[in-house]
Amino acid sequence: MQGIYTKLHQDGSCAARLGVLHLPHGDVETPVFMPVGTNGTVKGIYHDTLRKIGFNLILGNTYHLYLRPGTEILKKYGGLHTFCGWDRNILTDSGGFQVFSLSGLRKISENGVRFQSHIDGSWHEFTPEKVVDIQSVIGSDIAMCLDICTKPDIPYKDAVHAMRVTHAWASRCLARKEQLGGQFPGNLFGICQGNFYKDLRKESAEVISGMDFPGIAIGGLSVGESPETFREMLAYTTQFVTADKPRYVMGIGSPDFILDAVENGIDMFDCVLQTRMARNGAVFTDDGVVTLKKAKWADVQEPIDPECDCTCCKEYTLGYMHHLIKCNEMLGGMLATEHNLAYFKRLMRRVRQAIREDRFAQFKKDYLDRFYANGGKR
């Protein structure tokens, strides 16, 4: 099959790389950070603002969209793009992580997973085939296979079982995608698992890389393990994932995790951290995170970041943002959301420029030294 990824440059100082994803709704430069839009909207920001910032790939969530508004509504609209008015690319996860996090509300078998809705308690079933069908209705430009995400420190035999089922489900997802043919023009990504056992990580990376997926996700990371374990397992696993396809680590959003991923040749990552922190009055700068509720900002007549061109930094002061957040005004969260997403968009441009100039390793060190100089807080 023709690949969707073009590698443009390999950094001379590490495994970081520049590339382009060729997707149905336009090309995407990598490495790329993707905002999360669980219910067909990135919380607290207009789609027009996302376009203005420059995002052309956002996430949706299969589990949540399946429950509300449901596939019948999405079918009537011709998919999520039309339903939510977003004319650029959408990646949807399989919904597996949400299902597996339900703990007592689900039952996993080799056929799939039965779960209770967190909304009304009704029972539903996700099979690998059904998850592909749902994402076909959504119209995902990138869709994820159903997998079993496991928590740290489970017994080895349980990790083996989860990995083997994940591999079997990956094959079934591929078969269903093939059956759908032109009904589903999007791209289906496989997911490596293996918990935190290196032999299983290696096996899963090689098995999934050998399948006919246009992209590979490294799953089972950022699920509660220590930062040191995250770095070790990320570096170990990535060496066994084919370099010919885009690599994706799900659910990482802090600057240190993102830069660790880029250094190891990861092309894609997403997180709710930026928007969630914004709604709680915390914004990112090169000198650490600013907690806007702190009294010290009450009379500061300067922007959050004079180098940022978001609405918040161009038109408002730290003092005004402090006021909005203290008063629980909706505008405060919206402005903070735009700032955080604009900040990470600009950070990724700087990352790509550093890779282009073969100086990413030094960029990472300098950036993190400054960001965490005061414990990551300003």
Catalytic residue ranges = 93, 270
Count of other CB atoms within 10 angstroms of residue 300: 14
Count of other CB atoms within 10 angstroms of residue 235: 15
Which residue bears the tokens 């990724």? 348
* Rounded Cα–Cα distance for residues 368 and 361 (Å): 11
With a CB cutoff of 8 Å and minimum separation 6, the contacts of 22 are 4, 5, 6
- CA–chain centroid gap for 367, Å, is 22
Angle between the N-to-C axes of helices 330-356 and 318-326, in degrees from 0 to 180, rounded to the nearest 10: 130
Query: Judging by beta carbons within 10 Å of its beta carbon (0-12, 13-18, 19+), is residue 333 exposed, middle or buried?
Result: buried
Instruction: Fill in the DSSP letter of residue 374.
Output: T
Name the β-bridge partners of 116. Answer: 123
* Rounded Cα–Cα distance for residues 341 and 11 (Å): 25
Cα angle, residue 97 at apex, residues 210 and 192 outer, rounded to 5°? 15
Q: Quick one: how many helices (H) and strands (E) in the chain?
A: 15, 16
Three-state DSSP at 94 gives coil
Which residue bears the tokens 């935190």? 196
| Assigned token pair, 230 | 């995250």
* Rounded Cα–Cα distance for residues 301 and 297 (Å): 9
| Assigned token pair, 311 | 């609405």
* Rounded Cα–Cα distance for residues 129 and 134 (Å): 9
Q: How would you classify the pairing of strands 5-10 and 17-23?
A: antiparallel
Torsion, Cα of 256, 257, 258, 263 (10° steps): 90
Instruction: Fill in the DSSP letter of residue 114.
Output: E
Q: Does 31 sit behind a cis peptide bond, omega within 30 degrees of 0 on the bond before it? A: yes
